[in-house]
Structure 1
Amino acid sequence: MRLLDPNHPFFRPAWRRYLVVAAPFAWAGVEAYNDQMIWAYLFAAIGGYCLWHLVLAYKPDDEA
């Protein structure tokens, strides 16, 4: 079982993939602003993981 399945029907619209990628990066910015750098790095890493799987390495499933 994958941690994040990019072929799930929820991620078919591009705006949802970009929103899921942007949310952890935005929260990392909030944590960095509040000088909580460990949390900022953690959420930036989560955002990077989502960026890789949902945007950069995304291959649409041709079922439809």
Structure 2
Amino acid sequence: MSEDKKPEKPEKPGFMTLGWFAPLYRRVILVAAIACWTLWEWFYNHDQFWGVLSLVMLAYGIWTFFITFDKTLEEVRKNAKPKS
């Protein structure tokens, strides 16, 4: 009997790995805006819910845009090339 293998679907690039985010200054501006929002919530509004939420978004932005961005973008570009 022959086994039917499903063709592997190439991994689609996520929103955070779009080429628009490739220049460093765009990532820095975005993370700085989130950092300002976090400071605003903690020191001006004293709202713990939005403060924690913005802090989590800041941590995710730092992780995504500065720690793993180059590796993930390289993988997406490698998988996007047509295989011959």
Aligned to 2:54: 43
Paired letter, 1:37: Q
* Identical counterparts, % of pairs: 23
Give the number of the structure whose residues are more often helix, by fraction. 2
Distance 1:35 1:13 in 2: 34
Which one of 23, 30, 44 corresponds to residue 13 of structure 1? 23
Inter-partner Cα distance in structure 2 for 1:37 and 1:5? 26
Deviation at 1:24, TM superposition (A): 1.4
Find the structure with the greater CA-based Rg.
Answer: 2
Distance in 2 of aligned mates of 1:41 and 1:25? 12
Query: Where in structure 1 are there 5+ consecutive unaligned residues?
Result: none
Per-residue deviation, residues 24-58 of structure 1 (Å, max 9, x unmatched)? 12101101112112111100100111110110112
**So what's the TM-score if we normalise by structure 2?**
0.61
The residue that corresponds to 1:56 in the other structure is 67
2:42, 2:16 → 1: CA distance? 29
Counterpart AA for 1:17? R
Aligned residues: 61
